[in-house]
A and B are shown apart, each in its own frame.
Chain A
């Protein structure tokens, strides 16, 4: 029985990876098409305006645009940031829509892989490195999909799907372990809560990191530096990206705070002390501090903008480090990689 479900789970995850790959290609083509179209658009709009000044007005219009209602499909200075994205939506939605559809299909398979694994193991499917990878990537893609109802962040598709694909690749090839029973230390309701919330917050931090990376590139472009990536023309201005990244980070941060506290409560139950600077605890603390720093940076003069964006990226890098290097190579009580 167990073996049957394990193999269903593996079939599902490999199929999901295949479809994610297609989705990734479509997202990439979409970005490439945006590059082409944005230069057309810029050419069309530059009757009398150099493309540099189009850029400048784009920036200034960022705040002005809020008061105007979105609408037209031409690149007017009035509501440039919205219409720039709208323009792409109207002229080349094909690849983007295909990419999103593929991502949804792959994600459904991915989630079923998680469920099958859980059924096979007869417990929550996040008790070793392979299972963490499987579940956390499903949550990351899930957050990406759900967030679209709030904001159009489809341009992060290649980043998110690429990241999930990479993680699943490493997870299935290097971290794979068979289903084994839970050791007594993991038999706790806190395994369900603590690990789930930690993985979910990773989804928010991943999106925020993607936005911050685009923000940095956009800021360079807006500062008039040569940036080859033409598709940036079609994306929101740096300031808007920063606001979005901040909102996602803040949600992730609340979850991470909860993770930290839940971890301490669990550590008290399982190990007899709520905090002992175990390596994993140290890194959870470091990550928490970095994001607290990020939130402060946004309220500190001279730190808004690119500097705080770097902090969001460093924070996410620390999360990935915590999950990979710390789990595999650092010694500590959290020795549950199963490898």
Chain B
């Protein structure tokens, strides 16, 4: 396939104009050798993406890497290694590969269509040189032999053609069809991912028991639109979290407290329709319209009620706390910008089932709410919310804050059990732990590429199996009658591609055919 190309290139070299070069380049690009090279290069190029954290799959890992290795991070940044799979060089490799693929598949498709219409080739002069060569003798005359061979071949789904006293047959065009379907479906996958994915979006949202959120840009905690995303893609629906029920292992002593099941019970409402209840589990996302909601995380969201010195409620709402261990020990950050004399920030630790270490430090020993404790370090001063920059809701910047209750101040850390109410220092007011509901974090994904990708993937497998396991072969049967009236039948075949059972196929065919002849002659 490629050698003649190379020679041609060499011979024409002195006269190569632009078109000549373009053609030469195209032939090179679409050669098997280039395809192989690009495939292997693609495998190698993917390796860095597994060694270095990727912004898309592990953003925190990237941040940590940058902090720990600023020097090498600069180099990796230059080569876009934190974005390996969208980097210029990785994209270049797979785009070239797919151009090569198209350039290879198109001419082969045409060639295949021609082959489908062509007659099986002339019977070779000396069948004895071919594979599975075998002979049988019969009393039937040559024409009968050839005609019955043709019938039998046809019944085995060969296409046949009679040339004199021989029949030429070919089968297994499906092999090449499968190969072409396979390669085209790969292009289909790429296009579906590249184009379809662009119209979708993903959004993350924390929802506390008893609360709801609507599918609109403003209500997401974070949102990643695809390249071609427009607001219309957001289906108007709301999801309310009625309750969240985890189940933790209680009997297996090796795994006490390990989560064995999570279920979120929700009520969904599509615009203009009546509300429906549903549930979301880890491997069972909820489908609303063309959008899926996945249950990816959960935790506690204690409700604090803060009152000012005159007992007016200035704050009463749940705060989602980030779990930091398997027993859902969590950190909570509460910011109260208005209503009190000073801005107040609180850094909390929640222990759903409280235990005490030898050191006296608290620890959570079981993830369910058996004996919960919330401790709060309280700060007053400037929360830094007004400087226009976006702030992280899960972090407390203490630069302009002064601790008024906690380890480094006069007043002790505030310690609350559900229902407890404690006065804040400096006569600021009081804080009460009203209740501790659960929250779930939901990922909402809309990805129109899913179905097309799945269909192409199925075609990939179907094409692959056909092309690898359907044998493509030619078979010939030729008959010669000698003076005594005995007809010698020769059988032989030729494999096209890998064909493990070729010889058996020939001998089985010969047996069957000669048997049929005998039966017919005898009767």
Q: Which residues of A contact B (CB under 8 A)?
A: 2, 66-67, 178-185, 187-188, 190, 243, 246-247, 250, 253-254, 257-258, 261, 264-266, 268-279, 282-283, 285-286, 289-290, 292-293, 296-297, 299-303, 311, 326, 330-333
Contacts and interface: CB of A to CB of B under 8 A. Distances in A.
A258 B461 contact: yes
Nearest to A177: B254
Given A254-B465, A272-B292, A296-B35, A180 B259 contact: no
Interface in B1-46: 1-3, 32-33, 35-36, 39-40, 42-43, 46
Contact of B58 (A178, A250, A269, A331): A331
5 contacts: A271-B296, A274-B450, A289-B40, A303-B36, A311-B40
Contact of A301 (B3, B252, B260, B447): B3
B261 interface: yes
Given A181-B260, A188-B283, A276-B57, A330 B42 contact: no
Contacts of A330: 50-51
Contact of B43 (A258, A269, A286, A300): A286
Given A188-B283, A273-B447, A297 B36 contact: yes
B395 interface: no
Contact of B252 (A179, A261, A273): A179
A277 B39 contact: no
B186 to A, nearest CB: 10
Contact of A265 (B2, B50, B202, B454): B454
B460 interface: yes
The 5 A-B residue pairs whose C-beta atoms are closest, nearest first, are A180-B255, A184-B282, A272-B294, A289-B43, A282-B50
Contacts of B50: 279, 282-283, 286, 326, 330
A67 B457 CA distance: 41
Given A180-B249, A184-B283, A289-B46, 10 more contacts: A183-B260, A269-B283, A273-B202, A273-B447, A274-B450, A276-B56, A279-B50, A282-B49, A299-B32, A330-B50
Nearest to A290: B43
Interface string B107-145: 000000000000000000000000111000000000000
Interface size class of B (residues with CB under 8 A): 35 or more
Given A286-B43, A293-B40, A254 B461 contact: yes
A271 B40 contact: no
B498 interface: yes
A187 B262 CA distance: 11
Interface centre among B40, B61, B453, B465 (most CB of A within 10 A): B40
B252 A180 contact: yes
Contact of A67 (B40, B133, B461): B133
Interface of B: 1-3, 32-33, 35-36, 39-40, 42-43, 46-47, 49-51, 53-54, 56-58, 61, 84-85, 131-133, 193, 202, 249, 252, 254-255, 258-262, 281-285, 292, 294, 296, 443, 445, 447, 450, 453-454, 457, 460-461, 464-465, 468, 498, 500, 503
Contacts of A277: 49, 54, 56-57, 84-85
Q: Is the interface of A mostly helix, strand, loop or mixed?
A: helix
Given A179-B254, A272-B445, A282-B49, A296 B464 contact: no
Contacts of A243: 498, 500
B202 A274 contact: no
Given A257-B464, A277-B56, A282-B50, A289 B283 contact: no
Nearest to B51: A330
Contacts of A257: 460-461, 464
A2 B254 CA distance: 11
Nearest to A303: B36
Nearest to B454: A265
Contacts of A179: 252, 254
A300 B445 contact: no
Contacts of B35: 296, 300
Contacts of B40: 289-290, 293, 311
Contacts of B282: 184-185, 187, 270
